[in-house]
Amino acid sequence: MSQFDIQLDKVAVLMGGRSAEREVSLMSGHGVLQALQQQGVNAQAFDPGSCDLGALKSEGFTRCFIALHGRFGEDGTVQGALELLGIPYTGPGVKASAIAIDKIMTKRLWRADGLPTPAWRTVHSVDQTLAAYAELAKPGQVMIVKPAREGSTLGLTKVHGADQCATAYALAAGLDPEVLCEQFIAGDEVTVPVLGAGEDARALPLIRIVAPDGNYDYQAKYFTNTTRYLLPSGLPESEEAAIAALVLKAFSSLGCRGWARADVMIDAATRQPYLLEINTSPGMTGHSLVPMSAQAAGISYADLCLQILQQATLDYA
């Protein structure tokens, strides 16, 4: 971890960017910016969507808080640029970020490490999507179709029948040429934030998500108040502990550091947890889950931002 001096560091809060999640990134970034400034940090907003990243060096920034979401911010590209500029940044490094944004590669690594994740198929056509539905979903059941490299459930469809496959594939393929068809796990949906790195990484309190009609989509995540977030989750302590341990293994498996948030489904019949994905630059808006979980652990929003910033580093420090 690089040295952090709140009096000397000039911090850029990277927000906005060019991804489909630009709007949410601006919301996250402005929240982080205000919190850091209130803590006495010399923090300024920086939008890579309109500013050349090279200006970070010429303008004397010594550290970056990445509040970008999705492509060109959460996928290793900005991390690589900051490595070249020699400016420490928050969150996982180049390799971990590039892997985590790719749900297919993430699942391959987790499966190789013996970690549970729903069965899946990668598809590139409507016909392949229909074949995947026949394989992954029994008649009358559900299959998930989503782009391989997007966040915030953008482009995701719950397919309830073969007649919906073409529309679901078109929606996902419009955002990414690689489309993921995934077995649907019916049961409790939970999320677990992680702070720290290596042996010091720790899981924050688990949140159980109860969305209207089970649809935790982009609108439900950021712009409505109808989704319920249960914290405490109401799950047995032993089950919470097992899920937290699983998430820490998943975090380590991808080589993550700093912070992240893992999404998990718990099979209602077997109570087996299944890893869905890891977000390496989670939301920090008023609806976001990492600040909510941190608050339950006694960490205020402002202190959370400062803790994340203090862990800013480089792959090749």
Residues 110 and 218 grouped into a single domain: yes
Whole-number Å distance between alpha carbons of 175 and 202:
33
The pLDDT of residue 140 = 76
Q: Which stretches of the chain drop beneath a pLDDT of 50?
A: 1
Residues 303 and 193 grouped into a single domain: yes
Where does a domain end: 183, 208, 233?
183
The pLDDT of residue 141 = 86
Residues 126 and 269 grouped into a single domain: no
At CA 102, angle to CA 98 and CA 105, rounded to 5?
100
Catalytic residue among 9, 17, 19, 21: 21
Would residue 19 show up in a list of annotated catalytic residues for this protein? no
Residues 271 and 201 grouped into a single domain: yes
Q: What residue numbers bound the domain in which 240 lies?
A: 100-115+186-310
Residue 183 bridge partners (DSSP): 143
Would residue 135 show up in a list of annotated catalytic residues for this protein? no
Catalytic residue among 47, 63, 263, 281: 263
Overall domain count for the chain: 3
Where does a domain end: 139, 164, 183?
183
Residues 17 and 161 grouped into a single domain: no
Query: How distant, in Å, are the alpha carbons of 24, 152, 207 from that of 308?
Result: 19, 21, 20
Residue 162 has φ and ψ, to the nearest 5°, of -60, -30
Whole-number Å distance between alpha carbons of 35 and 82:
23
Residues 44 and 107 grouped into a single domain: no
Catalytic residue among 19, 28, 279, 281: 279
The pLDDT tens digits for 194-241 are 999 999 999 999 999 998 776 655 555 555 677 899 999 999 999 999
Whole-number Å distance between alpha carbons of 44 and 33:
7
Strand order in the sheet with 143-147: 120-123, 179-183, 143-147, 157-159
Would residue 279 show up in a list of annotated catalytic residues for this protein? yes
Does residue 5 fall inside a structural domain? Answer: no
What stretch of H or E contains 145?
A: strand 143-147
Catalytic residue among 277, 288, 293, 301: 277
Does residue 259 fall inside a structural domain? Answer: yes
The pLDDT of residue 304 = 97
**What share of the chain in percent tops pLDDT 90?**
87
**What share of the chain in percent tops pLDDT 70?**
95
Query: How distant, in Å, are the alpha carbons of 32, 149, 261 from that of 282?
Result: 12, 15, 6
Catalytic residue among 25, 28, 97, 152: 152
Would residue 21 show up in a list of annotated catalytic residues for this protein? yes
Does residue 316 fall inside a structural domain? Answer: no
Would residue 222 show up in a list of annotated catalytic residues for this protein? yes
The pLDDT of residue 218 = 56
Does residue 4 fall inside a structural domain? Answer: no
The pLDDT of residue 297 = 97
Does residue 269 fall inside a structural domain? Answer: yes
Residues 80 and 110 grouped into a single domain: no
Does residue 95 fall inside a structural domain? Answer: no
Q: Which residues contact 21 (CB under 8 A, 6 or more apart)?
A: 69, 70, 151, 152, 154
Catalytic residue among 29, 83, 261, 293: 261
Residues 75 and 220 grouped into a single domain: no
Residues 107 and 226 grouped into a single domain: yes
Residues 177 and 197 grouped into a single domain: no
* Closest to 227 measured CA to CA, from 217, 237, 239: 217
Residues 197 and 290 grouped into a single domain: yes
Residues 28 and 109 grouped into a single domain: no
Would residue 277 show up in a list of annotated catalytic residues for this protein? yes
